[in-house]
Amino acid sequence: MKKVILTTLCAAALSTGAFGQGLVNFLNNASTLVTLSSNSVNLGSTPAGVPGSFSYELFRAPAGTVVDVGFVASGLTGTNLTTAGRFNGGNGRAIPGTALGGTTAILVRGWSSNLGSTWAAAVANQGIIGGYFGSSAIAPNFLLGGDGGNGNVPTSPMFGGTSGIQSGFALTYVDVVPEPSSMALAGIGAASLLIFRRRK
């Protein structure tokens, strides 16, 4: 009997904890499109094509954070849709470590999927593989939504709304830059060829 009661209480606690997490609508809208740029010049084009060619992840920090320092990955990811500049990762997704009705600072980071499946992998591959990187503006006091089991707190839109990210952002192409040692070796090789040619 005690085991049954204990099991029931644990199940109730788990379900309450899940309902108690803040929920987010992980998609952008027509006024917050993602664009592509190169060398900080906006190309005016927007990511489209095969879904999955671009990746996005939600990052969060304590409420009130206004600088891009200390943000941690939430684990909530999305991808591009065939509609240019739009992405979606699903509606009503729980943000771990947050509470229903609370606030948190959020931003979204995006990258071209050839760089890896996570932001950490994309950063690690920077300089090895060319690709796109970018971050949105920060929403410092994002109001977390969720139904709380009562249906009385709507899911919060990540972009727009009263507290979401209010603008789109650009993914900038970063090309592979040869390391100085590689450039030096190439220079030595070229000089050697010239010397040998002159001797002949």
**Tens digit of each residue's pLDDT (9 = 90 or more) over 136-170:** 999 999 998 865 555 556 788 999 999 999 999 99
Query: Nearest-5° angle of CA 183, CA 187, CA 192?
Result: 150
Which whole-number Å values give the CA distances from 6 to 25, 113, 149, 180, 194, in the listed order? 35, 45, 22, 64, 82
pLDDT of residue 121: 93
pTM value is 0.75
pLDDT reading at 183 higher than 90: no
Tell me what the mean pLDDT of segment 11-37 comes to: 73
Cα–Cα distance between 114 and 95 in angstroms, integer?
26
Q: How confident is the model at residue 191 (pLDDT cuts 50, 70, 90)?
A: low
Question: pLDDT by residue (tens digit) across 74-92?
Answer: 999 999 998 889 999 988 8
pLDDT above 70 covers a percentage of the chain that reads: 70
Cα–Cα distance between 36 and 112 in angstroms, integer?
11
Question: pLDDT by residue (tens digit) across 97-138?
Answer: 888 888 999 999 999 999 999 999 999 998 788 889 999 999
Domain ranges of the chain: 2-199
167 DSSP 8-state letter? S
- Are residues 26 and 91 in contact, defined by beta-carbon separation less than 8 angstroms? yes
